[in-house]
Structure 1
Amino acid sequence: MKIAVLLGGISRERPISLKSGENVLKALKKLGHDVVPIDVDENFLEIAPKLKEFEVVFNALHGHFGEDGTVQAILDWVGVSYTGSKVLASAICFDKVMTYRVLDGYVNFPEYTIVKKPVKESPYGFPCVIKPRKEGSSIGVHICDNSNQLYNDLSEELKKYNEMMIQRYIEGRELTVSILEIGKPQILPVLELKPKRRFYDYTAKYVSGMTEFILPAPLSVEEYEKVANSSLRAFELCGCEGFARVDGILKNNVFYVLELNTIPGLTDLSDMPASAKAAGMSFEELVDAIIQTAVR
Structure 2
Amino acid sequence: MRVALLMGGVSREREISLRSGERVKKALEKLGYEYTVFDVKEDFLKEVDQLKSFDVVFNVLHGTFGEDGTLQAILDFLGIRYTGSDAFSSMICFDKLATYRFLKDIVEIPDFIEIREFMETSPLGYPCVVKPRREGSSIGVFICESDEEFQHAIKEDLPQYGSVIVQEYIPGREMTVSILETEKGFEVLPILELRPKRRFYDYVAKYTKGETEFILPAPLNPSEERLVKEMALKAFVEAGCRGFGRVDGIFSDGRFYFLEINTVPGLTETSDLPASAKAGGIEFEELVEIILKSAFLKGEVRA
Aligned residues of 1:48 and 1:78 also touching (Cα < 8 A)? no
CA distance in 1, matches of 2:191, 2:177: 5
The code of the aligned residue for 1:192 comes to E
Contact 1:3 1:57 in 2 (8 A): yes
Tell me whether 1:233 sits opposite 2:246 in the alignment: no
2:296 is aligned with 1:290: no
Give the corresponding residue for 1:148: 148
Match of 1:87 in 2: 87
Alpha-carbon distance between aligned partners in 2 of 1:269 and 1:170, rounded to the nearest angstrom: 25
8 Å contact kept, 1:45–1:74:
no
One-letter amino acid of the structure 2 residue matched with residue 279 of structure 1: G
Does the aligned pair in 2 maintain the 1:179–1:187 contact within 8 Å? yes
Name the counterpart of 1:24. 24
CA contact (8 A) 1:119 1:151 kept: yes
Secondary structure of the structure 2 residue equivalent to 1:3: strand
How far apart, CA to CA, are the structure 2 residues paired with 1:217 and 1:25? 30
For 1:228 and 1:149, the matched residues in 2 are separated by 34
Task: Give me the whole-angstrom Cα distance separating, in 1, the residues matched to 2:105 and 2:226.
Answer: 18
**Match of residue 262 from structure 1:** 263
Q: Take 1:7 and 1:157, find their aligned partners in 2: how far apart are those partners?
A: 26
Q: Deviations over 1:83-139 (max 9, x none)?
A: 000000000000001111111111001111111122122222111100000000000
User: Is 1:104 matched with 2:104?
Assistant: yes
User: For 2:118 and 2:254, how far apart are their aligned partners in 1?
Assistant: 34
TM-score by length of 1: 0.99
Q: Note the residue ranges of structure 2 that are not aligned, 5 or more in a row.
A: 298-303
TM-score, normalised by the number of residues in structure 2:
0.96
- Give the aligned partner of residue 124 of structure 1: 124
Contact 1:127 1:143 in 2 (8 A): yes
Tell me the alpha carbon deviations over residues 158-204 of structure 1, each in whole angstroms, 9 at most, x when there is no partner. Answer: 12111111000001000000000122111000000000001000000
- Is the contact made by 1:110 and 1:169 (CA closer than 8 Å) also made in structure 2? yes
AA paired with 2:111?
Answer: E
Distance in 1 (CA, whole Å) between partners of 2:188 and 2:152 is 40
> Hey, what does 2:244 align to over in structure 1?
243
Counterpart position of 2:6: 6
2 CA distance for matches of 1:114 and 1:102?
A: 15
* Distance (whole Å) between structure 2 residues aligned to residue 293 and residue 155 of structure 1: 42
Name the SS of the counterpart of 2:122 in structure 1.
coil
1:86–1:240: 8 Å Cα contact kept in structure 2?
yes
Residues 12-91 of structure 1: matches in 2 within 5 Å? 12-91=12-91
Contact 1:127 1:145 survives alignment (8 Å): yes
C-alpha distance after superposition, 1:38-89 (max 9, x if no partner): 0111222221111111111000000000000000011112211100000000
Residue type of the alignment partner of 2:194? L
Instruction: Compare 258-267 and 119-128 and name the one that shifted more.
Output: 119-128
Q: Provide the C-alpha distance between the structure 1 equivalents of 2:52 and 2:161, rounded to a whole number of angstroms.
A: 35
Equivalent-residue separation in structure 2 for 1:35 and 1:276 (angstroms): 23
Aligned to 1:223: 224
CA distance in 2, matches of 1:153, 1:106: 30
Distance of 1:222 and 1:194 partners within structure 2: 22
For this pair of structures, how many residues does the alignment match? 296
Q: Which runs of 5+ in 1 are unaligned?
A: none
* CA contact 1:117–1:155 (8 Å) conserved in 2: no
